[in-house]
Structure 1
Amino acid sequence: MARAIGIDLGTAYSCVAVFQHGKVEIIPNEQGNRTTPSYVAFTNDGRLIGNAAKNQASINSNNTIFHAKRLIGCKFHDPTVQADMKHWPFKIVNDVDKLKILVEYRNETKLFTPEEISAMILTKMKEIAETYLGKKVTEAIITVPATFNDSQRQATKDAGVIAGFNVLRIINEPTAAAVAYGLDKKISAERNILVFDLGGGTFNVSVLKIEEGIFEVKSVAGNTHLGGEDFDNQMVAYFMQEFKCKHGKDLLQNKRAIQRLRTACESAKLNLSSSSQASIEIDSFHEDIDFYSTITRACFEEINDHLFRSPLESVEKALHDAKMEKSDIHDIVLIGGSTRIPKVQKLLQDFFNGKELNKSINPDEAIAYGAAVQAAILTGDKSENIKDLLLLDVAPLSLGIETAGGVMTALIKRNTTIQTKQTQTFTIFSYDQSADTVAELVIFDKENSTKQTETMTTSSKTQFSVDIKVFEGEHSLTRDNYLLGYFTLSGISLASHSVPQIEVTFDIDANSILNVSAIDKTSGKENKITITNDRGRLSKYDIEYMIADAEKYRKEDEIQHECILAKNSLESYCFNMKATISDKKLTDKMKVHDKNKMIDTIKDTIKWLDINQFAVKEEFQHKLKELEKLCSSIMRKL
C-alpha cells in the first residue's frame, strides 16, 4: 500500500514524516538532516531547493526566495506584505492584482506566485520521502498555522496540488504537535494541554483536552507574523546601525551584505540559546571593510523584549476562550525552534507561576510527526496505537455575512468545533427599486413579519437579487474584517402576502475550508451557490498551468542532475587515470608512446571540461566513452 506522508511546511524549515510499521519515522534529506531549509534559488545553471539554495543565498540574494509562507494567500497591498518586503532582497511585484515574486532564471525574467514557490518546497519534501521509501508518494497532509485564514489555507492546498499531491487534509500545526505529544506520553486519562508553538515565522497557541485518544481543541490564538525571522530582523537592524556608527556607511542598498549579516545573525541567535555571548565575523563585509562584533544574550533579549512578551497576550486569550484558568492546564508543550530561546521559556514559565515546561518532544519535528499520524489514519492504517485516535479541531476565526449597517453577523463563531454546518434565515431590510437589487439584509424575525411585508411590497417589482458578502474576522463591522468572497442570489420573490426568507448555510469542512449556500424559502426556489473567488486566488486554469510548469521545471532539474552526474563521471575518470599513470611501477611497463598519448588525452579532456562546463549530458558521455576506449586499450597491453 502506498504511504501517505505528513509535511510541516515551515517559514524557515520544512520537515516530512511517515507512519509505517506502527511508528512515525522522520525522513532525513540527502545531507542526513531531518529538516530542510524552505529556500528556493534560481540561477543561470538551474534551480536549487533546500540546503543548496540557502548556502548560496549571499551571492545570489535577488534570486533566492525564502519566507514564502508569509506571502501565501496574501495580496500585494496587505500591510504585513509591505512591512516584510523591507527585509527581503528579492523583489515582490503586483501583477494584475496578484502578488508575484520576480527572479532572473536562465537569463530570463520570471514571475512566480507564492503558491508556486511553496509547491517547489513541497516537491522537494516529496522527493525526499520517495527516495527514503523507494516508491512514489501521491498523498499528503500539510500543516498550517492555526490562525491562517481561509485564503491562506486554500492557497496552501493549491500549492500541494501543484506539487503533485492529493492533499488529504490541511491541519493546524499545534493540533498536529499535540498528537505527537499525546502518543509520546501515551495519555489516556483526561488532561488539558497548552501547545506553545513559536517557529521561524509564525506563533500559535492551542488549548486542547486529551482523553482516551480524543484530541479536542478548545481554543486557538496567535500571530501569523511572529517568529525567529523577526528576532533576526531586530539583530540585523542593530548591527546595521552599529556598522553605520563605526564606519559612517549605510548598508541599505547592499543586499548581499545584508544577506550575509542575516545569516551571521541567525547563527548568533542559535548560539545565544546555550551561551551568554556570540560573535559576528564577516570579512569584506561592505566596501572591503571587515566587520567583527559581539552580542550578549542580555542585549539580544533587550532588543527583542517587546516581541518575546507579545505571545503571552495570545496565551491569555486562548485560556479565556477555552474557559480555563492557568491552574487548569496540566502540561505546557513547547513546539518550534524559537522556543529554545531561554527568555521565551522564562517569560512563559513565569506567566504560569513557575510551572515546569514540557520539552520532551523535538520542537522541530513534532508537527510533521503528528501530520504523519493523521495521514496514516485517513488512509486506513489500523495500527493499535492510532486506531482510536480522533482529532476535533476548531475554526480559528468567526465567519459570517454583512447585514444592515455593514454589521458582521457571524454564522460560525471563532473556536467552533469543525466540521460544522450552521444555517441562519435572513430577510430584506432595504432594496434598490431602480436596480432590482436588495441593498441590506437583517436576521428574519417572525414577530415583525407583518410590518416587514407592508414595507417591502409597495414596489411593483416582484423579483429581486441580493449580493451575499462573506467575511472572516472578529470585528463588529465588516469593513474591518477580511472579505472572503461574495455571490449573487437572483429571483428573490416579493409577493404581496409574504416576507422574503433567505436561508444562508455555512458549511466548513475538516480542512477549515468554507462553502456557503443560499435558498429563497419564500418562492420555494432553491439556489445553492458556492463562494466565487474574490481574493485573487488561483483559478482552476492557473493551477493546471502551474502543474504543467512544475513538471517542466522538474524535468529541467532532472536533465541538469543527469548532466552533472555525467560531467562528474568524466572528471572523476580523468583524475583516476591521472593517478594511475603517476604510479611508477605501472608506467614502467608502458610504452613511452602510449604513456604520452594517455597523458595528453587526459590533459586535453580536463581542458575541454574547463571550457565546456555547460555542455549537455551526451557530450560528457561521448568524451568519457572516447577516453575509456583509449585508456582501456593501452591498459590491456600491460
Structure 2
Amino acid sequence: MTHVNGSSHEWLVLVTIHTNELLVEEEHRAEIAEGRLIELEELVASESEEEEELEEMKIDELEYLSSSAVQCRKTTSSFVAFTPTECLTGNLAYDQATTNPANTVYDVQRLIGRTFNDPEVQKLINRWPFKVIKGTYGLPKVVVEYKCKQKEYSAEEISSMLLVHLKNLAKSYIGTTVKDVVITVPLYFNDSQRQATKVAAHLAGLDVLQIIDKPVAAAIAYGLHMKTTDTNVLVFDLDIVTFNVSIITTDEKGKLTVKATGGDTHFGGVDLVDIMTDNFVKKFNRIHHMEMDITGNSKARYRLRVGIASAIEDLISNTETTISIDSFYNAIDFSTSITRDKFEYMSKSFFRKCIETLESFLRDAKINNTDVDGIVLIGEWTMIPKLQQLLREFFNVNELFKSIDAVEVVAHGAAIHAANLIREKSEKEKTLPTLSLPNIVPLSLGVDAHDGVFSVIIPRNTPIPAEKEQIYFTTYDNQTSIPFNVYQGERSRAKDNKWLGEFEVAVSPAPKGKSKAKVVFSVDADGTLNCWVKEFTTGLKNKIIIDNDKHKFSDEEIKKILKDAEKYKLEDREYIKIMRVRNVLEEYIYNVRRKMKTIGSTDKTRLHAEEIKKMETAIEAANEYIDGNQELVDVDEYKKVQNQLQKLCVSVIAQLV
C-alpha cells in the first residue's frame, strides 16, 4: 500500500488454478483473469476420464503467483517507466520512480476511456509529474523521453504494456502462452472505459471473454452465486482514491443483482495519507523549530507519503511501528514511532467520513442496516482494524466476510468466473452454475417519441445484459414514419438529458394511433447499446448502434446528473403534469375534428354554419396556444383553455346530432 504525489499506487495480482492452470491477474482499476482454453478442451478423452477430471477439479484451488521470483512480491505495481536504454514495467518501474518521475507513468487507468478535456483528467494532470497532452480525436496522450527520443503513448498502450508484463510472467510460470482473459473493472466504468480496456487487452494479445464489475467478482469469490436463499450483501470497496459501496442481492436460483450502488469517487485512502502527512510535517517542524512547506518539495513529500502508507500497512497487524526517513529535509533525518491507538485517534475524521457516506448510501437506497446479511470487503484499506470494528458496530454483526484477502478477493472471484466461462465451452462439462452477472445501466436509456417527454425503456440500475421494449403509436393521421431520438439521463424532459442518436421507421398511412412500432433497446454484457424498431403492419425494421463516444459518462458526470435529477424533481413533476394536460387537450381537438368529419355536410351543418366556423376558429386558436407555449409552467392555464373550448364544442355538436 503506497502513494505517489497524491495519486494511487495500483497493484496487479496473479492467481492460478492448479487443476486446469487457469491464470488470473488483478489490477486496481482493471483486474484480469486469464485462462488456457486449449487445456480445458483437451480434458475430455472418455467418459471415465472426464468423471475423474471433474472430481479432481476444485474451484478453490487457487495459487497467487509472485510478481518476481527475486522480489517475492505477490503484487505488481501498475507502473511503467521509460529510460534511455529500456522500458520497465511493474515493480522495477516503481522502484526507480523517485529518480525518474517525469518518465514514470502510473494511475493510467484513470485516463482510459476519457477525453483530454474531461474534468477528471484535468484534475489529474495537474498532480502528475509526467506530462499529458491532447492527442488525436481529443484523447489524452502521455509524453515521455524513451531512448533519448520524445514518445507519445495512449492510456490503452500503457495499460497493454502492463498486461504484456503479466502475460510474460504467466508464460514463464505455466510454460505456455495465455490468451483468454476476463477483465474486472470498477462498477462505475462507462461503456467507453470498458471498450478502451478491451482495446488494451487486444494490444497485449489477449482475447477478452467478458468484462465484469469488481463487487460482482468479490461476491462470486464468496460463493454468493451458490446461495439458495434471498440474501442482501453489502460490498465495501475502499481503495486509494475512491470509495464505492454496493448492495448485491441473491435469490433462490443464485442470480446476482446489483440493487444499489453509491459512495464517493473523490474519497479514499489518499485522504487518510493526507491527514497523516499533515500531522507528521507539523511534528517535524515542532521538533526542529522549522516551517517546512512540504508542498514545495516533491521528493520529500513522496518519501514521507510512502513511509506513512507503509506504516498504516504495518499497523494492520501490529500495535506499533516506526517511520524512518534518512535526509528527509535539508539533510535532516526524520524518525518517529506511532501506535495503533494514536493512529486511530489521528484518523477519526477519516473513519467518520466512511460511516457517514455509508449511512447516506443506505438512506438513498432505502435499505436499513438490519436488512444487510453480510459485508464483503475489497481493498487493503478495508483491513484497518478500527474500520472493521466500526462496520461491525454499525451493522451489529460479529464478523465480516474477510476469509479471503481483501486485496485478492476480486482476482479470486474473477478466476472462478473465468473457469465457468471456459468450461461452458465444453458440451460435457457443466460443473459450475451459469452466473447472471449484474453489471448495470448507470443512467436510464429511452426515447423522445413525439411530445418532449423522456420515455424510459431501460431504467437506471437495470442489470446487464438487458433487453427491454416499448410500443409506440402514430400521433397524427396518415403519418408515414415515426422518428425516435435516443437519450440517456434521469430528467423527465427529453432534451434535459444527453442525446445519443436518432432513427426512424416507415409506417403505413392510417388514422392517428392505428399504426404502431415496437422499439427494442438491448445492452450487451460489455455495455454496448443496440436500438432497433419494427413496424407491425409492414414488418419494416431499422437499427442503430450508439457510438461509444456519445454513450459515455465519467463517474463525476453520473453523480452530477443524479444530483440534478434530485434538484429538479419538483420541476420535472410539474412538467409531466403539464404535458399530460396538453396531451389531453390535443386529443380532444383531434376527436372533435374526427367527429365533424363523421357528421359531414347536412342540413343541420349548413343551418349552423356560423356556430361551426366559430368553433373551428376556437380550435385553431387552441392549437396556436399549444404551439406557442411549449415551455408553459402552469397547468391551470391549459385546463382553462380546454374548458372554454370544450364548452363551445359541446354546445355546437349537440345541435348537429
> Shorter-chain TM-score: which interval?
0.5 to 0.7
Shift in Å at residue 370 of structure 1?
Answer: 1.2
The alignment partner of 2:248 has SS state of: strand
2-structure distance, mates of 1:292, 1:165? 46
1-structure distance, mates of 2:504, 2:365? 44
Which of 120, 133, 140 in structure 2 is aligned with 1:93? 133
Q: State the one-letter code of the partner of 1:395.
A: I
- Spell out, residue by residue over 1:433-458, the C-alpha distance to the aligned partner (whole angstroms, 9 max, x if none): xxxxxxxxxxx4x5xx6xx416x97x
Shift in Å at residue 260 of structure 1?
Answer: 2.2
Answer yes or no: is 1:398 the counterpart of 2:443.
yes
2-structure distance, mates of 1:14, 1:412? 28
1-structure distance, mates of 2:511, 2:227? 61
- Spell out, residue by residue over 1:118-169, the C-alpha distance to the aligned partner (whole angstroms, 9 max, x if none): 2222222222222221111110101012222222222222222222111000
Q: State the one-letter code of the partner of 1:119.
A: S
Which of 101, 106, 121 in structure 1 is aligned with 2:147? 106
Residue in 2 aligned with 1:216? 256
Answer yes or no: is 1:413 the counterpart of 2:427.
no
Contact kept in structure 2, 1:8 and 1:368, CA below 8 Å: yes
Answer yes or no: is 1:489 the counterpart of 2:503.
yes
With over 3 angstroms needed to count, the CA separation of the structure-2 counterparts of 1:385 and 1:496, relative to structure 1, is closer
Which of 476, 496, 499 in structure 2 is aligned with 1:453? 476
Which of 309, 312, 327 in structure 2 is aligned with 1:284? 327
Q: So what's the TM-score if we normalise by structure 2?
A: 0.66
2-structure distance, mates of 1:167, 1:125? 15
Residue in 1 aligned with 2:607? none
Shift in Å at residue 2 of structure 1?
Answer: 8.4
1-structure distance, mates of 2:212, 2:535? 34
Residue in 2 aligned with 1:119? 160
Q: Compute the RMSD of aligned alpha carbons.
A: 3.8
Q: So what's the TM-score if we normalise by structure 1?
A: 0.68
The alignment partner of 1:528 has SS state of: strand
With over 3 angstroms needed to count, the CA separation of the structure-2 counterparts of 1:359 and 1:526, relative to structure 1, is same
Percent identity over the alignment? 36
Shift in Å at residue 504 of structure 1?
Answer: 3.6
2-structure distance, mates of 1:362, 1:354? 19
Equivalent residue pairs, number: 500
1-structure distance, mates of 2:118, 2:128? 16
Contact kept in structure 1, 2:34 and 2:418, CA below 8 Å: no
Contact kept in structure 2, 1:15 and 1:368, CA below 8 Å: yes
Answer yes or no: is 1:74 the counterpart of 2:114.
yes
Residue in 1 aligned with 2:529? 514
Residue in 2 aligned with 1:595? none
1-structure distance, mates of 2:455, 2:282? 48
The alignment partner of 2:150 has SS state of: strand
2-structure distance, mates of 1:36, 1:406? 52
The alignment partner of 2:347 has SS state of: helix
Q: State the one-letter code of the partner of 1:353.
A: N
Residue in 2 aligned with 1:174? 215
- Spell out, residue by residue over 1:263-289, the C-alpha distance to the aligned partner (whole angstroms, 9 max, x if none): 222212213334555544333334545
Contact kept in structure 2, 1:75 and 1:536, CA below 8 Å: no
Contact kept in structure 1, 2:201 and 2:207, CA below 8 Å: yes
2-structure distance, mates of 1:186, 1:524? 43
Contact kept in structure 1, 2:194 and 2:211, CA below 8 Å: yes
Shift in Å at residue 195 of structure 1?
Answer: 2.5
Contact kept in structure 2, 1:70 and 1:225, CA below 8 Å: no
Within 5 Å, give how 1:206-355 maps onto structure 2: 206-210=246-250, 214-222=254-262, 223-236=264-277, 239=280, 247-275=290-318, 278-292=321-335, 296-302=342-348, 304-305=350-351, 307-313=353-359, 315-316=361-362, 320=366, 325-355=368-398
Shift in Å at residue 389 of structure 1?
Answer: 4.6
Contact kept in structure 1, 2:191 and 2:526, CA below 8 Å: no
The alignment partner of 1:273 has SS state of: helix
2-structure distance, mates of 1:342, 1:286? 32
Contact kept in structure 1, 2:231 and 2:251, CA below 8 Å: yes
1-structure distance, mates of 2:377, 2:368? 19
Residue in 1 aligned with 2:630? none
With over 3 angstroms needed to count, the CA separation of the structure-2 counterparts of 1:16 and 1:47, relative to structure 1, is farther
Contact kept in structure 1, 2:505 and 2:542, CA below 8 Å: no
- Spell out, residue by residue over 1:234-258, the C-alpha distance to the aligned partner (whole angstroms, 9 max, x if none): 4445556766786334343443333
Shift in Å at residue 520 of structure 1?
Answer: 6.3
Residue in 2 aligned with 1:360? 403
With over 3 angstroms needed to count, the CA separation of the structure-2 counterparts of 1:14 and 1:528, relative to structure 1, is closer
The alignment partner of 2:293 has SS state of: coil
Contact kept in structure 2, 1:42 and 1:63, CA below 8 Å: yes
Shift in Å at residue 233 of structure 1?
Answer: 4.3
- Structure 1 stretch 167-176 or stretch 347-356: which is displaced more? 347-356
Which of 61, 70, 84 in structure 1 is aligned with 2:124? 84
2-structure distance, mates of 1:124, 1:477? 49
With over 3 angstroms needed to count, the CA separation of the structure-2 counterparts of 1:283 and 1:163, relative to structure 1, is same
Answer yes or no: is 1:7 the counterpart of 2:47.
no
The alignment partner of 1:148 has SS state of: coil
1-structure distance, mates of 2:185, 2:31? 12
2-structure distance, mates of 1:213, 1:130? 38
Contact kept in structure 2, 1:193 and 1:330, CA below 8 Å: yes
2-structure distance, mates of 1:309, 1:417? 27
2-structure distance, mates of 1:536, 1:514? 8
